Amino acid sequence: MGRRARNKQGAPPSFEEIQTAKEKRALKKRKRLDSSKASESPKKPKAAKKDKKPRKKEETSETQGTDETEFPADLPEVDYDELSREKKSLFEDSEDDDKEDDEDDNVKVGTLDDFDAEQKEQIDDDVDEYDSEEENRAKPAFSDEEDAGDELEMEKINASNMEKYSELLDRRAEEERLEAEEELVEGAIEQPRPKILPPPGTEEEDNPQNHDITFVRTRMLEIVKVLEKFNELGEEGRSRSEYVDRLIKDICEYYGYTPFLAEKLFDLFTPSEAMEFFEANEVHRPITIRTNTLRTRRRDLAQALVNRGVNLQPIGKWTKVGLQIFDSQVPIGATPEYLAGHYILQAASSFLPVMALDPHENERILDMAAAPGGKTTYIAAMMKNTGCVFANDSNKARTKALVANIHRLGCKNVIVCNYDAREFPKVIGGFDRVLLDAPCSGTGVISKDASVKTSRTPKDFMNIPHLQKQLLLSAIDSVNAHSKEGGVITYSTCSVTVDEDECVVDYALRKRPNVKLVDTGLAIGKEGFTSYRGKIPQKSFTNKKVLPTCL
């Protein structure tokens, strides 16, 4: 065991013991030097301790003696200073090592009680130092010289000055808020308004950047921001119509609409809502199916499809029969469950007209445009195969798919017919409820049929609304006004334009004064337009629009 390791055993010496040992060692050295000078005799080398390093063991042959030693008189005179230097270089010990050796030689081994007392003093010193640091940190630091007096008064918070201190903090927070607002206003004044539109008189073809898709999209978003706050962000010397024209051109180029249809759809919404609508039309939607409650339950159907590797989940809380499918390892239209009539492929939005119609058992119901049968079979399922459902479609070729779905889903209370729906009051009437899912332009299902972007013309938006008005009047005339629970007509389209929706209903209300609007009872969708360029004079006009952004 080395010297330092051995000295570490036991309790360490106290500070007083170390100081006493140093003083004794220094006194011993002074006596030794004085005696050597007086006798002019050489000093005996320092006796080696038992724990000296191996290289110093050669010095241990000399025995310890007194400080003064007598030598024969015939020995030559010795230079003790030079001898001392050589001895130091021989042992290669620094002054610090000698000092440490001296301290180690005079260390006193303390008791356990001494060690406990010393540790307690050290802990008390550390606690005092920590408390002083905590006090320094607890003091609030205020940079304003004008509040220095308040800081001194509020150093110690108590019940008497707490309210005053709170008012001081509130006042400073308000001052900081006002300063921040002033900085924002100054920055807005100094910063020039962004120039988004190209300079007047320049041709678009000259700049290839105008046809870059990324640049066009960025410009559309910037123009929308400007239009939302035109008074603040509009460029000086530019009118609002210039920004709108530029935005519509970019929409046509980016999304592929005709200028006529892009402008018609853009005018229905605010700029930000219009951009959301155009974006929603580009998003692919998951496949949706409707459970046929005449044959199974949704929970059992979902479990059966999951076992076949179908990833699905319920559509939403507003329907108890719908499922949306994200991916499948098998064709959804060819599973044993599909062939057995447990479900039908049907868009979620087409559930809503039947839910608004709210058919009851043992009623007589007319579906004026029934093919391919999604809504008709849903009506039959809600009626639990009771009553009678007349499924009509003017296109005879489409009735084949209608009949096939009726048989596959097990609907036994449906009669299929092929009439022009405008002639229906003359053929048969007296229905409790009538569903009219009228032919339309399809502007609400562009995500399914992208050809609508380029196929619709101004002539279509004149002919289609005219046909819809005639069909709605026929539906009103076909219903039994004296029905106990019925007398209900549901009008729906796959379009979002006012010409095909609100204007058609407004026309029917004016032509048939005995008809009134009622709430749909649907928990999904947005309120319809109550005014649009002076075309909707009804003040209490209420309906539901289920836009692509709602699903």
User: Does 110 appear as a known binding residue?
Assistant: no
Tell me, yes or no, whether 128 lies in a domain.
no
Tell me, yes or no, whether 470 lies in a domain.
yes
Phi, psi angle pair for 530, to nearest 5°: -100, -10
Q: How far is Cα 29 from Cα 42, in angstroms, rounded to an integer?
A: 15
Q: Is the domain of 366 the same as that of 220? A: no
Q: Is the domain of 255 the same as that of 357? A: no
Q: Is the domain of 262 the same as that of 364? A: no
User: Does 375 appear as a known binding residue?
Assistant: yes
Tell me, yes or no, whether 533 lies in a domain.
yes
Tell me, yes or no, whether 418 lies in a domain.
yes
Q: Is 314 exposed, middle or buried (0-12, 13-18, 19+ CB in 10 A)?
A: middle
Tell me, yes or no, whether 153 lies in a domain.
no
Beta strands in 280-359 (DSSP E): 287-291, 310-314, 322-328, 343-345
**Is residue 417 among the annotated active site residues?**
no
User: Does 475 appear as a known binding residue?
Assistant: no
Q: What integer pLDDT is reported at residue 363 of this predicted model?
A: 95
CATH number for the domain harbouring residue 443: 3.40.50.150
User: Does 98 appear as a known binding residue?
Assistant: no
Specify the 3-state DSSP secondary structure of 443.
Answer: coil
Q: Is the domain of 273 the same as that of 401? A: no
Task: Give this prediction's pTM.
Answer: 0.64
Mean pLDDT (10-residue bins), the chain, 551 residues? 50 69 81 69 47 45 46 54 61 50 49 55 55 50 46 58 81 88 65 67 57 87 90 83 93 95 94 94 93 97 96 94 95 95 96 95 96 97 97 96 97 96 91 96 93 94 96 96 87 94 92 91 80 61 65 55
Q: What integer pLDDT is reported at residue 168 of this predicted model?
A: 86
Q: Is the domain of 267 the same as that of 352? A: no
Q: Which of 258, 280, 302 is the last residue of a domain?
A: 280
User: Does 437 appear as a known binding residue?
Assistant: yes
What separation in angstroms does the CA of 217 have from each of 132, 198, 224, 418?
A: 62, 15, 11, 48
- What lies within 8 Å, CB to CB, of 506 at 6+ separation is 535, 536, 537, 538, 541
Q: What integer pLDDT is reported at residue 193 of this predicted model?
A: 58
Q: Is the domain of 356 the same as that of 253? A: no
26-51 burial by CB neighbour count: b if 16+ within 10 A, else e? Answer: eeeeeeeeeebeeeebebeeeebeee
The two three-digit tokens of residue 430, written as one number: 């007296």
Q: Which of 250, 280, 310 is the last residue of a domain?
A: 280
Q: What integer pLDDT is reported at residue 119 of this predicted model?
A: 57
The whole domain housing 256 covers 208-280
Tell me, yes or no, whether 328 lies in a domain.
no
Q: Is the domain of 506 the same as that of 375? A: yes
Cβ contact 41:141 at 8 Å? no
Q: Is the domain of 352 the same as that of 271? A: no
Q: Which of 411, 494, 503, 550 is catalytic?
A: 494
Q: Is the domain of 352 the same as that of 248? A: no
| 526-527 and 544-545 beta bridge pairing | antiparallel
Q: Is the domain of 369 the same as that of 514? A: yes
Q: How far is Cα 104 from Cα 3, in angstroms, rounded to an integer?
A: 9
Number of structural domains (the chain) is 2
Tell me, yes or no, whether 361 lies in a domain.
yes
Phi, psi angle pair for 311, to nearest 5°: -95, 110
Q: Which of 232, 264, 280 is the last residue of a domain?
A: 280
